[in-house]
Structure 1
Amino acid sequence: MSAESAATLAALILADEGVEITGDKITALTSAAKVEVEPIWATLLAKALDGKDVKALLTNVGGGGAPAAAAAGGAAAAAGAAEDAPVEEKKEEAKEESDDDMGFGLFD
């Protein structure tokens, strides 16, 4: 396991337990897992997550700002609505006119 993954998982463990995310706690968890993480990276991750609701960040991934549960329900409703919507026909691309179509050629 990479040091980055271990530090991220340690931060997720702390958030899941409701414990404040600090560099020291991330380092302690990664050390217990026998993964060496430089303290500076643990501190930077902790500062990046400071004041953020990590659980809310996880539920908002890919949801466009909506919680994942609502997004999943909305996706099912959107799929049903998409089936009812008329299918757009593909527009044919206009063919480029060649010189022959214009009535003259390169050597005329």
Structure 2
Amino acid sequence: MATSELAATYAALILADDGIEITADKIVALTDAAGVDVEPIWATLLAKALEGKNVKDLLSNVGAGGGGPAVGAPSAAAGGAAAAPAEEKVEEKAESEKEESDDDMGFGLFD
């Protein structure tokens, strides 16, 4: 990873640790104070990616694997009957999204 990318990431972590909103201007200001040149577009992209997210929660869940349940989705504890149809939908969706083979398209990769 390039020095400027690390500097922008560290700047975002500093802002999150202090409870300050992460914006492109603040990332650029911190990296400039550190003597690292970061292009404003990268600071903007990082700020947009972290917008509305709790960075501290992201860091504490790094090794947790996979995403959590969707917001508003009923949990098994809240209502097991409501959770069962959602699981069936996921299985049906996975089956319907199977990748088409080359034979189905009328040609093969090595024809």
* TM-score under structure 2 length normalisation: 0.57
Spell out, residue by residue over 1:37-57, the C-alpha distance to the aligned partner (whole angstroms, 9 max, x if none).
Answer: 000100110000000000000
Spell out, residue by residue over 1:22-79, the C-alpha distance to the aligned partner (whole angstroms, 9 max, x if none).
Answer: 000000000000000000100110000000000000000012369xxxxxxxxxxxxx
Q: How does 1:71-82 map to 2 (within 5 A)?
A: none
Corresponding residue of 2:12: 11
What 5-or-longer segments of structure 2 have no aligned partner? 68-111
Q: Which amino acid aligns with 2:11?
A: A
How far apart, CA to CA, are the structure 1 residues paired with 2:55 and 2:35?
24
Corresponding residue of 2:28: 27
Q: Say whether 1:47 aligns with 2:48.
A: yes
Q: CA RMSD in A?
A: 1.6
The verdict on how the C-alpha distance between 1:56 and 1:65 changes in structure 2, with shifts beyond 3 A counting, is: farther
How far apart, CA to CA, are the structure 1 residues paired with 2:22 and 2:55?
10
Percent of matched pairs sharing the same residue: 73
How far apart, CA to CA, are the structure 2 residues paired with 1:24 and 1:64?
32
Larger radius of gyration between Structure 1 and Structure 2: 1
What 5-or-longer segments of structure 1 have no aligned partner? 67-108
Q: Tell me, what secondary structure is at the counterpart of 2:6?
A: helix
Question: How many residue pairs get matched?
Answer: 66
How far apart, CA to CA, are the structure 2 residues paired with 1:4 and 1:15?
17
How far apart, CA to CA, are the structure 1 residues paired with 2:65 and 2:34?
34
Runs of 4+ in structure 1 displaced over 2 angstroms?
none
